[in-house]
Amino acid sequence: MTIKVGDRIPNVSFVKATENGPESVTSDEFFKGRKVALFSVPGAFTPTCSAKHLPGFIDKAEDLKAKGVDEIACTAVNDAFVLGAWSGSNNAADTVTMLADGNAEFVKATGLEMDGSKFGMGTRGQRFSMLVNDGVVEQLHVEAPGEFKVSSAEHLIENM
């Protein structure tokens, strides 16, 4: 079953990409007591993710914070080293927290996984954005396969 607005984020482990290397954090710890704009990409360094999705959240960071967002986070079914390198290559470290979901625990627990096998990618997360307030989903925008419309930073802001 897919997570929906009003649901609590399931408690799973992420690996946060930091300047000091990978750090484990549970979703309960990460989302507790604050408002987080979370977006998911099928993979770091993939075309739409690198050209549009991540840059959009970097560009709109101040607008999101003006709307009360405490943190912007990106998750992908990649390891923390890949997400750290992707963050570095996009100068995102000061703007977007990278949450590695290397074993797809988060996307499976939320029902937002996809099968990327035909692209040689295995299980991945769908492209989506959500607004999470103290662990509860306030907004959820899941893209149709192959599209990039409703998961953008602009769309999230328009709906706040």
The three-point CA angle 85-90-91 to 5° equals 95
Q: Is 74 designated active site? A: no
Other beta carbons within 10 angstroms of residue 29's beta carbon come to: 13
CA distance 157 to 110: 22
Residue 114's alpha-carbon distances to 63, 110, 117, 136, in angstroms, are 30, 11, 9, 23
**Residue 13 in contact with residue 103, Cβ under 8 Å?**
no
Residue from 3, 38, 49, 132 carrying the catalytic annotation: 49
Give catalytic residue positions: 49
